[in-house]
Structure 1
C-alpha cells in the first residue's frame, strides 16, 4: 500500500510543479518523478521568456530548473523524522544552451544509507550532490553542485 501512496504522491508533485508559476514562466517541465522518488527528469525549452541577450539559455533559468529536486528527493526518501534543507549551490556553465535542455536527477540507496549512518547520533550531515544539464545532443551545458543539510528532527535526536 505504501508504494501506491508514494506513486500517487509523486504524480501529484509532478503535476503541482508543472503548474508552479516560476516554472511555467521559465518554461520548465517536470517530465518524470519515480514512485520511489529516486529519479527525476526535467526539461526546459528555449523561448523568448528564458533567452538571454545573446540568444541562449538564461543562466538563472538553468539553475532554477535544478533547484528544489535533490532536497525534495532526499526529504521524501528519508521521511518525516529528518530535516532536509538546501545549504549551498554552485553552477558551472560549460557550453551555451541553444535549445531545449534536460536534467536527470538520481539518488541511490547507498546515499540514503550513508545519510542515515552519518545522522544516527543526532549530528548534521552535509552531502554534496551534482546534476548535469545537457542539451538534446547530450552536450554538457552546465553542472550544478548542491550541498544539503540533513539532520534528525529534535524529537528523533532525543530518542537516539
Structure 2
C-alpha cells in the first residue's frame, strides 16, 4: 500500500470516511455505516435513488456489486499488514430477488480465518480464500449473493 493510502487508511474511522466519499461509492449511493476498529467487520448500505435504479425500478445490479467489491480485500490487507500481497481475484453475483429501498451487506473477518490464511501463506505459497456475502433488504430478505475470491501471498523477505 503506498504511503498516501496508508495515511488515509491509518484508522478504521479514516478508512470509513474515505470510502464514504470514494467516487465509485459516492456515485452509487453506497455508505460504509460500520467499520470495526480492528478491521474485523464492516457494514455497507445503499439507499435507492434515481441514479442507482434500473429501468424496471429496482436497484441497478452494478451498484449492488460495487457495494461489496473492495471490502474483503481492504479488511484482509489491514488485518495481515504490509508483509502480504492481497488482490481481488474473481467474483460472481447471483441476483435472488428484486432489490428495492435500502439494502445492506455485512462483512466478517474472524481471527480464526486470518490465522488460517497466515499459516497457509507462511512459506510464500499463495492462497485463494473465498467468501460469500449476502446483500439484504430492509426485511432481511436476500436480494443478491456475491461470491468473492482473493489472492493472498506473503511477500518475499
TM-score (norm 2): 0.92
Pick from 22, 30, 33 the counterpart of residue 32 of structure 2: 30
Moved over 6 A (4+): none
Report the count of equivalent residues.
149
- CA drift at 1:105: 0.5
- CA drift at 1:100: 0.8
**1:53 partnered with 2:43:** no
What is the match of residue 5 of structure 2? Answer: none
TM-superposition CA deviations, 1:37-58 (whole Å, max 9, x none)? 0110100011110000100000
- The whole-number CA distance in structure 2 between the counterparts of 1:143 and 1:70 is 14
What is the match of residue 42 of structure 1? Answer: 44
Segments of 5+ residues of structure 1 without an aligned counterpart are 1-6, 156-160
- The whole-number CA distance in structure 1 between the counterparts of 2:16 and 2:36 is 10
TM-superposition CA deviations, 1:15-35 (whole Å, max 9, x none)? 011111221111100001000
Pick from 113, 119, 141 the counterpart of residue 117 of structure 1: 119
TM-superposition CA deviations, 1:64-94 (whole Å, max 9, x none)? 0000000000110011100000000011100
CA RMSD of superposed structures (Å):
1.1
- The whole-number CA distance in structure 1 between the counterparts of 2:38 and 2:57 is 37
What is the match of residue 89 of structure 1? Answer: 91
What is the match of residue 6 of structure 2? Answer: none
Secondary structure at 1:76's aligned position in 2? Answer: helix
Pick from 130, 133, 147 the counterpart of residue 131 of structure 1: 133
TM-score (norm 1): 0.91
What is the match of residue 21 of structure 1? Answer: 23
